[in-house]
Every structure is written in structure tokens, then in C-alpha cells.
Amino acid sequence: MQLYDDGNQEEKLPLVDEDNDKPNGSPSLWAADESAVQRSWQTATAEEPEGIPFFPSQPRTLADTGLSKAFLMDLALKTVHYAGLPSATHMTQRMALPPAIVQELLTLLTDEHLCEVASSGSMMAGNYRYRLTAGGINRVKEALERSRYAGPAPVTIDQYVEVMERQRAERPAPSRESIENALSELVLAPETADSLARTLHSGRCALLYGPSGNGKTFVLEAFARHLDGQVLVPFTIYAYGHIIRVFDSSIHVPAGERDIVRLTPTISDESEETNHKRDERWAVVRRPAVIVGGELGQESLELAYDPVSRFYQAPSHLKAQGGILAVDDFGRQRIRPEDLLNRWLTPLERGWYSLTFHTGEKISVPFDVHLLFATNLKVELLLEQPFLRRILYKVEIPNPGPAEFREILRRACEERSITATEETLQYIVQRVYEDNTTRPRASYARDLLDIVLESARYDDAEPVLTLETFEKAHRLFIPARA
């Protein structure tokens, strides 16, 4: 049995064809991600542009897609079913296939009396509109029982592996400039900033540790924001009759047209005209960054099967291919730290990860992520030495010193438009560090100023950091000693 579904939920939106006809009553499973997918297609097919050294060539025949004729015919029927009266141009955009292949599929469907020409918007063949026949309606019902997928044609697992391996071999390390830009958003001691920069540039597995509230999560988020480069991501993968949805609009951000350059096809013996055409089943996106926290469990490491739609969602580490995969609050997941490291470290060292379908078949895919962990637990209690040895880089993010805390406080005042004099800032630093009962964290500045700001709103006054407003905030923030 063939299983292929794009992974959208049962709530669906109607499609409107490109000539603004009224939508058909049958909704599209792809509608939830429609805008993100369309943006990806538009940027991924730009003819100008630099960033990725290669791009898979556009398939020229049905055989070039790697998919069976029956699969593609069913996919075309479901596209017609959901769109209502689509034109060949509309189906080309929806299926991410060349016009010649889509037209061949429509010819096959009409020859087998599964669909027919309903009308024509003009004399151009690409504007003929198609609808299902009675036989086509019966056939599409059978196809929908196998899967509700009706999005871009998937790439095969072999095509995916080939592109991922080449992408891994040619992906550069994070630039020094992007790392420095990310770390400039934080106030860190020089030695800490230097250690972090070298760690992030290495691309190796790393552990950030230290007391909570000192910026470990912020480091991960800043590094993700400033991550440079682009990668190729397929919308879906086909393997053993199953569909795996990989593209996730919440993770994969289409690269802007200014960031893309002309890409070299993977096949070099084609005509110059064909060389400029790309396989639109792949999206060009900024290097992805996936940050997971305490919600991560054993099931998060596997393919997620939806028995209603009969498709798979790729796990987070597959969606992070070519980018970073960060585990925040490491040690607080719904899976033991040792089990999580066993599932990821060995595949990361080997460069391959195995995934299992619910029917028992297994596939191996390249595993190419920059794996980062952050924890506020004591490292010696979190992991045993054999595991720590396998994490090459370990960076402590300590409590800030007086000079760092003062700069954090100053920046936080500027961000919140709170007036403060240098004398007041100096007094607060001395006051905080003279209190031996507390060890100031970087987050204390933000938290204290939030209280100052909210108190000013209560008093209907302008927010000003004075000795008086600080002492009021300090009393509210620090628990009284018994």
C-alpha cells in the first residue's frame, strides 16, 4: 500500500485558482502552509543569485522524478479534486513539477477518462481547466483512503541522501563576523566571549553550563538569529511507499532573493537552457535553527505518523539538517540525558541516522547538525565522564562581575526607556554585590527594571531609576530573610 500525505490537519481552506474564479467546495490539505510554500517556491526558483554551490536539476521526464507513474497520477487527481477547476499552470505550481510533466500527466488522466477539460480561459493550452470524471471521482476516493497528501511532489530517499551528502561536504563553518555579531548582543567577560566564539565556530558538539539566568538560552537564540548561509530542504520525502513531510514554515525561512545566487545543477551534461532550471521540489531556506526544551521526549526522536492523514512528520533533528539543533535546559527532558546522547552522539559521529516507519521498514539518512546543549545543572551530576569526553567543547557561563552587571543594567535601562544617572547605576552595583546573601545573575538587571517600570505605571509616573525606586524593587524581588 502506498502512503503519501502532506501532513496538514483536517481543517482545510478552499483554494482559488490563479484566474480568481470562485473556490471549489473541496478544501486543500496544503492550505495551512500555502503562503510559506509559495514564498519558498518563488525564492527557490529565482534566476539570479549566491549562497548554495549547487542545486538539483529540474526533472525532464516522469522517470527523472524517481516516482512511479501511478503515484504521480494519483497526486495529480487529488490536486484536481482539492482545487476544483485547476488549469495546467495552477497544477504546475501546486505539484512543483515542470509544465511538460504536468501536461503529460493530464494527458494520461484524460486518456484513461479520469479527468476532462471543463473550460478554457483562453486559447492557451496552459489555461485549460480540468475536472474529474465519474471514474476520476471513484479513483480519487481510493487514493484519499491511502493518503490525503496533495502538495508538491516528493523527492525520493535516494535523491535526498545525495543532496544532503553533497551539501554537508560543501557547507562552510559559521563566519567569525556572524558569531561576533551574535555575541555582541550579550555582555560577557572577555574570556567567556572568546571561549564561546571558538566553540560556536568549531561546529562541534558543545555544552554550555552555569547558573540559571546568565544568558545560556540567549546565546543559543542569538546564534540562531545570526546564523548565515542557506541550505536546501525538500518539501517531502518518499520512501517505501511512505511520505515524510520535512518542510516546516515555523523553522524553515525562505531565503530572500538578495541572498540567492545562480546555482550549478548537479547534472552537467544538459543543455544551457535546462541548466538554469531548478528542481522546485526543493526550497532554498536560511540555515535552520531548532531549539527544544523540556518538552522533548522519546517519541520526539522518531517519525511521527498521523493515522488519519496517513503521513509522517519528520522529527526536529531531521528538520534541522544543515543548521543547529540546540537542547535548552538539558537534563530536564522527558528522556534521560544518557538515552538522548546515545540516540544522537553516535549517529552524529558516524554522520548517519536511522529512522523506522510504523510498518517496520528502516531508512538511513545523513545526520548533519551543529548539536548544542545548555544546562544549569551541575555537570558532574548530570553526566558521567564517558559522556562528557564525547562532548568536546564545554563552556561555563558564570555570574557576571560588577563591571558586566553595570553594563547589563545600563543597556536594560536604554531598552526600557528608563532614566538613570551613572551615580545611581554605580550605587546599585555596589548595593547588589555587597549583599553576601545573593549572587547576582545577569537576569537580575532585567527583572529589577521590570518592577521599576511596572511600579511607575502604577504611580502614573515617568519611569526613573533612583535610589528610592531601586530599593522598592529590590524589596519586592529579593525574599526577606527569616
Is residue 1 assigned to a domain? no
What gap in Å lies between CA 254 and CA 49, rounded to an integer? 14
- Predicted local distance difference test score (pLDDT) of residue 11: 33
Same domain, 324 and 461: no
Same domain, 349 and 210: yes
> Of the residues 361, 396, 431, which one is the last residue of a structural domain?
396
Same domain, 331 and 382: yes
> Which tens digits make up the pLDDT trace of 192-216?
999 999 999 999 999 999 999 999 9
Name beta bridge partners: 30: none
**Please, what sign has the CA dihedral across residues 143, 144, 147, 153?**
positive
With contact defined as beta carbons under 8 Å apart, do 405 and 445 qualify? yes
Contacts of 259 by beta carbon, 8 Å cutoff, 6+ apart: 49, 50, 51, 230, 286
- Predicted local distance difference test score (pLDDT) of residue 124: 56
- Predicted local distance difference test score (pLDDT) of residue 225: 92
Same domain, 308 and 236: yes
**Please, what sign has the CA dihedral across residues 146, 147, 148, 150?**
negative
Quote helix, strand, coil % in the chain, to nearest 5: 45, 20, 40
Name beta bridge partners: 130: 117
Number of domains into which the chain is organized: 3
- Predicted local distance difference test score (pLDDT) of residue 52: 67
CATH code of 278's domain? 3.40.50.300
CATH code of 73's domain? 1.10.10.10
In which residue ranges of the chain is pLDDT below 70? 1-53, 120-126, 256-276, 480-482
Same domain, 273 and 355: yes
- The amino acid present at 170, given as its one-letter code, is E
> Of the residues 370, 396, 422, which one is the last residue of a structural domain?
396
- Predicted local distance difference test score (pLDDT) of residue 50: 47
Is residue 267 assigned to a domain? yes
Model confidence, pTM: 0.81
Could you list the beta-strand ranges (E) of 296-368: 304-306, 311-313, 324-327, 352-356, 362-366
H-assigned helices in 45-185: 69-83, 88-95, 99-111, 134-146, 157-170, 176-183
- Predicted local distance difference test score (pLDDT) of residue 277: 83
- Burial class for 280, CB neighbours closer than 10 Å (0-12, 13-18, 19+): buried
Is residue 482 assigned to a domain? no
Same domain, 293 and 251: yes
- Predicted local distance difference test score (pLDDT) of residue 25: 36
CATH code of 415's domain? 1.10.8.60
> Of the residues 151, 174, 197, which one is the last residue of a structural domain?
151
Same domain, 203 and 144: no
**Please, what sign has the CA dihedral across residues 105, 107, 110, 111?**
negative
Is residue 7 assigned to a domain? no
Cα 181 from chain centre = 21
What gap in Å lies between CA 105 and CA 101, rounded to an integer? 6
Same domain, 291 and 259: yes
- The amino acid present at 263, given as its one-letter code, is L
- Burial class for 443, CB neighbours closer than 10 Å (0-12, 13-18, 19+): middle
Which of 248, 323, 233 minimizes the C-alpha distance to 285?
233
Is residue 6 assigned to a domain? no
Same domain, 114 and 201: no
Q: How far is CA 143 from CA 156, 196, 244, 360, 410, in A?
A: 19, 52, 17, 22, 62
Same domain, 110 and 246: no
Same domain, 365 and 440: no
Q: For residue 131, give the H/E element and its range.
A: strand 128-132
What gap in Å lies between CA 205 and CA 369, rounded to an integer? 9
The domain containing residue 139 runs over which residues? 13-151
With contact defined as beta carbons under 8 Å apart, do 467 and 426 qualify? no
- Predicted local distance difference test score (pLDDT) of residue 465: 95
Same domain, 210 and 85: no
- Predicted local distance difference test score (pLDDT) of residue 192: 96
